[in-house]
Chains A and B, each alone.
Chain A
Amino acid sequence: MIDSEHISSIDSLIQAEESVLETELLSTETKQGNIETLVADIESTKLVLAECSNIKPNSKKADEILGEFFTDCAKAVVDEAKFDGFIDTVERKQIATEEEKALIVAEGEIATGAETSGQHVIETLEQFDPSAVDLGIDKLKNDSEIIGADLDERVSQIRKRHPLDLVGKIGDKMLIQKIKKLICDGSYTDAENLINPYVKEELWLDEKKEFGYRLLKLSKQFPPEMVKEKVDEETIQKDGTINERAVLEIASRYGDTLPREVGLDILGKAVRCVGSNNFRIIESLSKTIVALELTEEDADKIAENLTNGNGKNFLLMDMLIKQGADPTKFEGMTKTWEEILTKVPDIDSMFENGLNGITYCKENVETLGLDFMLNNIESGPNLSALNYLTNNGNIGECKKWIDYLHGIGVEDGDFAKTVFIFFEENEKLVSEILSAEILVEAEKKGLIEIISSVNKFGVKNMAELADLKRVKIGYLEQAFLDDDIHKGKKALETVIFGGDKNLQITVLINSLGIIKANSLYIKNGKIETKDIDKKFIIDEKRIEELIESGMLDVGLVKTIRLVVYFRNFTATDEKGQKTKLLEEAKKCIEQELNVCIGVKELDRRQKALINQNYSREMFRDNLMRNDKKLKHTSIEFNGSEIPVTILDGEPFKMLVHKLNAYGNNGNDPSTWNVLSGGRSYISSSLISSEKINIAGGIKQKKGTVIYGFTDLGKESILQVGSADIYTIGGSRGKAKAEKSLIFFENEERVINLMTPNELLTQTSYGKYNEVVLDRYSGDLETYDGRLQPSCILVFGKSEIDINDEAKQAANYFGKPIYLISRGKYGK
């Protein structure tokens, strides 16, 4: 079937091709003839697309036209032999330990400046992957991005390089054909692996989301049997054996979205298949289990499969035990894992808070301490650095460094999340500091500053540490010399606003909707203008509105104007602006005018203002007691009196959360305050007297309990979207949510800050919005800081409609029941 998604997919393909074309144009080896053919190819594909945009999706004509396109793609002549090396390399993403180690050593040397060219990397790669030479790896020698990169960027630059990126032998046109063919064949992963080094990251991300979306649609629109048939077709090979790779791919990518029947099936297969990829897949599988609402029988079935699986599957084991699987099936779980399971409040945060690190570097638990690892080690670069240190036997030294920092009063915070990277990249400096008897005040101050920025300014020794201003000025001057305007901008932001990578200043100010948005888009989580010379224009009217509504204060506006002023530095350097800005920034450094803390405060104050605004709008029973319309009564439950407030047409706004929204905690209210109910975030929806039905579940099913939240903490609201923002127990977007208040619309588009009224207006009819609440209330005295519901909502005609589950919940929390008379409100 051809639909708009296919068209959109083709569009992405064209974008990808254009990007490839760009690469091709830069390639000296490409012949003119190839380019012409390629241009013609792209042009013809564009024509197809243009035609499609004018015809009705799903129509016969669309089928014909796009059918031709795919037929054309399928005709692509591909010299498969040439790709053997490619695919082989792709499949070897899980590089054997020794090889990975060698690469890390090489990267480390380059990153620390021990190597000044890519030669060593080439030699290292040659050692473990001779085919890389054939693929043109020697191009690294002239890779200006690596050689020219800042020291601290070299590792990431090198990691971005893949032998595929160094294509010499295979023409780019051939590659396009191959990509097309793979897409036509549905081999998206292979296509992705081939296309990745070529297209800009964001393009491919779109592509990937598109496929995910397609499958989601597939799983919802088609009968489960049909999806199952498709899944089987892809996973069961002709000889009846299971294609492990296909199973892993489907389970990890689509596990959560597959219909229950297929999900279970694929889950079973995946569990049997788990091998070196198991960890990557487990996250999805564990979510799948939640999403599928497994029965005990299902859980047991999978548990049986697990007994033959890898011991690392403890997460699944834990989930399954919670589902009712027999714990004796998991004998052999080590004491350490049991300890972890008792310490970590929820399964999602286990992934976020260092479980990867612990899994891969178990031997460090004793040296670094379980708490330190759980709280501070995340996946990504810090974990890679930890691996490197572990493999090199440097973890003991690193522990000394951590103790030293604690000793001079540096608290974990952000430092701990980058400590291994810092140690790895600055070993000489660290060693010098550790051997110094005592740091003078200037050195200590400098140290604290460079720790938080992971030595972004490149301090090499104690003398530079004591004179950080000079180093910073040098850093800034160097950045301004570069033709790439981004480097100057980035350096400016770093020296003036602290350069906290987690605090996205432009996102912060834009979430208020004060930048005119016509040219904004998101790149790597940051808002950018498409045109580098395009200035951010402040919407003065919006500022005034926000001040008037209490969302903003004059002090914050001043900071925002400063951010925008520095942001608007243009590439054209009109009227010598570059020189003036450099001069200004240097003076700021001289006078130590880093306003980093202020910007962080801006974030916090903004959060507070928004939370105040929402809190103010929430329904308050006690404020309405004088209202004659509001009726109060009470009901009895297990010997307790439960107050009931009847809303019989009165206006209200409330945030509501359906218990069980993420899965299977049942209706037992006590789960709210125990381990299994302890997800970090609460997904809620804003409803109002005008829109009571938008929460999707307000058509209250028998036994459903709806929690209402009207008493919010000062920083309860983390994210707002006028549609589902796809928090899975709040895990998605978590890092962003923790650091700053960001408003998403389906993660794709940044939206302006929405007041409760705006949110309700923008929520489409029949849909629901999402307001993500922080489970942490800030009040440690009450249930260790877990946010508690303010009321239990029941939609019905009279007290008779208040079911036992609602009474039980109200009784447990000691909160009233709000009985909302359905007939008195609109939809």
Chain B
Amino acid sequence: MENNKPFSSNLEKDKSEKYDSEEYEKKVDQIIKIIIDTDPEGAIELHPAKPKQP
């Protein structure tokens, strides 16, 4: 068996990038709030009516 890794170490580093889902969700919510504050009409797109239940 040869000691070759199929991919460069970069991919592994990239994959290990940390992601804080809580912080991210918070950011998304903040952006949504900005949109709602600035353009309530346009922000409707962000809250579409729920599809009808069968």
The residues of A that contact B32 with a CB separation of less than 8 Å are 558, 562
The residues of B that contact A594 with a CB separation of less than 8 Å are 27
Assess the A565–B35 pair: CB atoms within 8 A: yes
Contact code string A677-688 (vs B, CB < 8 Å = 1, else 0): 010100000000
Closest to B46 in A: A561
Assess the A413–B10 pair: CB atoms within 8 A: yes
In the complex with contacts A558-B28, A785-B5, A411-B51 CB distance below 8 A: no
A674 at the interface (CB under 8 A from B): yes
Closest to B14 in A: A413
* Cα–Cα, bound, A561→B19 (Å): 20
Assess the A597–B10 pair: CB atoms within 8 A: no
* Cα–Cα, bound, A651→B10 (Å): 41
Closest to B26 in A: A593
The residues of B that contact A565 with a CB separation of less than 8 Å are 35, 42-43, 45-46
* Cα–Cα, bound, A587→B28 (Å): 13
A19 at the interface (CB under 8 A from B): no
Assess the A541–B25 pair: CB atoms within 8 A: no
Assess the B17–A597 pair: CB atoms within 8 A: yes
Within 1-33 of B, Cβ neighbours of A (below 8 Å) are at: 1-11, 13-15, 17, 19, 21, 24-25, 27-28, 30-32
The residues of A that contact B9 with a CB separation of less than 8 Å are 375, 412
The residues of B that contact A558 with a CB separation of less than 8 Å are 25, 28, 32
* Cα–Cα, bound, A149→B14 (Å): 32
CB distance from A788 to the nearest CB of B (A): 12
In the complex with contacts A559-B28, A593-B30, A353-B45 CB distance below 8 A: no
The residues of B that contact A784 with a CB separation of less than 8 Å are 1, 3-6
* Cα–Cα, bound, A564→B46 (Å): 9
A496 at the interface (CB under 8 A from B): yes
Q: Could you say which of B6, B11, B45 contacts A786, with CB atoms under 8 Å apart? A: B6
Assess the A375–B31 pair: CB atoms within 8 A: no
In the complex with contacts A577-B39, A786-B6, A597-B1 CB distance below 8 A: no
Q: Could you say which of B1, B21, B34 contacts A783, with CB atoms under 8 Å apart? A: B1
A762 at the interface (CB under 8 A from B): no
Residue from A343, A544, A587, A675 having most chain B Cβ neighbours under 10 A? A587
Assess the A601–B19 pair: CB atoms within 8 A: yes
Assess the B6–A593 pair: CB atoms within 8 A: no
* Cα–Cα, bound, A98→B8 (Å): 35
Contact code string A526-566 (vs B, CB < 8 Å = 1, else 0): 00000000000010110010000000000100110110110
CB distance from A33 to the nearest CB of B (A): 50
Assess the B48–A538 pair: CB atoms within 8 A: yes
A76 at the interface (CB under 8 A from B): no
Assess the B6–A555 pair: CB atoms within 8 A: no
Assess the A601–B24 pair: CB atoms within 8 A: yes
Contact code string A721-741 (vs B, CB < 8 Å = 1, else 0): 000000000000000001000
Assess the A562–B1 pair: CB atoms within 8 A: no
Interface residues on A, range: 35 or more
* Cα–Cα, bound, A604→B16 (Å): 11
Assess the B42–A580 pair: CB atoms within 8 A: yes
Q: Could you say which of A540, A587, A680 contacts B6, with CB atoms under 8 Å apart? A: A680
* Cα–Cα, bound, A564→B48 (Å): 13
Assess the A675–B10 pair: CB atoms within 8 A: no
Assess the B31–A593 pair: CB atoms within 8 A: yes
Q: Could you say which of B1, B6, B48 contacts A775, with CB atoms under 8 Å apart? A: B6
* Cα–Cα, bound, A725→B28 (Å): 36
The residues of A that contact B35 with a CB separation of less than 8 Å are 565, 584
* Cα–Cα, bound, A817→B5 (Å): 28
The residues of A that contact B41 with a CB separation of less than 8 Å are 575
Q: Could you say which of A374, A581, A673 contacts B1, with CB atoms under 8 Å apart? A: A673
Contact code string A575-594 (vs B, CB < 8 Å = 1, else 0): 10100110110011001011
* Cα–Cα, bound, A568→B4 (Å): 46
In the complex with contacts A416-B10, A601-B19, A675-B4 CB distance below 8 A: yes
The residues of B that contact A538 with a CB separation of less than 8 Å are 48
The residues of A that contact B25 with a CB separation of less than 8 Å are 555, 558
A376 at the interface (CB under 8 A from B): yes
Assess the A600–B17 pair: CB atoms within 8 A: yes
* Cα–Cα, bound, A505→B14 (Å): 18
CB distance from A737 to the nearest CB of B (A): 12
A85 at the interface (CB under 8 A from B): no
The residues of B that contact A555 with a CB separation of less than 8 Å are 21, 25
* Cα–Cα, bound, A343→B4 (Å): 7
In the complex with contacts A345-B6, A413-B10, A555-B21, A584-B34 CB distance below 8 A: yes
Within 411-430 of A, Cβ neighbours of B (below 8 Å) are at: 411-414, 416
The residues of A that contact B3 with a CB separation of less than 8 Å are 784
Assess the B4–A540 pair: CB atoms within 8 A: no
Contact code string A320-346 (vs B, CB < 8 Å = 1, else 0): 000000000000000000000001111
Assess the A580–B27 pair: CB atoms within 8 A: no
Assess the B39–A776 pair: CB atoms within 8 A: no
Closest to B53 in A: A544
In the complex with contacts A376-B10, A544-B51, A562-B32, A678-B4 CB distance below 8 A: yes
CB distance from A676 to the nearest CB of B (A): 9
Within 583-634 of A, Cβ neighbours of B (below 8 Å) are at: 583-584, 587-588, 591, 593-595, 597-598, 600-601, 604
Closest to B35 in A: A584
Within 696-750 of A, Cβ neighbours of B (below 8 Å) are at: 738
The residues of A that contact B2 with a CB separation of less than 8 Å are 345, 673-675
The residues of A that contact B43 with a CB separation of less than 8 Å are 565
Assess the B17–A412 pair: CB atoms within 8 A: no
CB distance from A730 to the nearest CB of B (A): 11
* Cα–Cα, bound, A521→B47 (Å): 27
Closest to A561 in B: B46
The residues of A that contact B34 with a CB separation of less than 8 Å are 584, 587-588, 591, 593
In the complex with contacts A540-B51, A559-B28, A776-B7 CB distance below 8 A: yes
Within 490-514 of A, Cβ neighbours of B (below 8 Å) are at: 496
CB distance from A558 to the nearest CB of B (A): 5
In the complex with contacts A544-B51, A583-B38, A584-B38, A345-B10 CB distance below 8 A: no
Q: Could you say which of A544, A580, A598 contacts B19, with CB atoms under 8 Å apart? A: A598
* Cα–Cα, bound, A558→B6 (Å): 35
Closest to A780 in B: B5
The residues of A that contact B45 with a CB separation of less than 8 Å are 561, 564-565, 568
Assess the B38–A580 pair: CB atoms within 8 A: yes
* Cα–Cα, bound, A775→B39 (Å): 47
Residue from A376, A413, A584, A786 having most chain B Cβ neighbours under 10 A? A584
The residues of A that contact B42 with a CB separation of less than 8 Å are 565, 577, 580
Name 29 A/B residue pairs within 8 A (Cβ), A-sorted.
A345-B2, A345-B4, A353-B8, A412-B9, A416-B10, A544-B51, A555-B25, A558-B25, A558-B28, A562-B46, A565-B45, A575-B41, A587-B34, A593-B27, A593-B30, A595-B28, A595-B31, A598-B27, A598-B28, A600-B19, A601-B21, A604-B15, A673-B2, A674-B2, A678-B4, A680-B7, A776-B6, A783-B1, A784-B3
Instruction: Sort A-B residue pairs by CB-CB distance and give the 7 closest, nearest first.
Output: A598-B24, A375-B8, A345-B4, A580-B39, A601-B19, A776-B6, A587-B34
List 10 additional contacts besides A580-B42, A785-B5; criterion CB under 8 Å: A346-B6, A375-B8, A376-B8, A413-B13, A413-B14, A540-B48, A562-B28, A675-B4, A776-B11, A784-B5
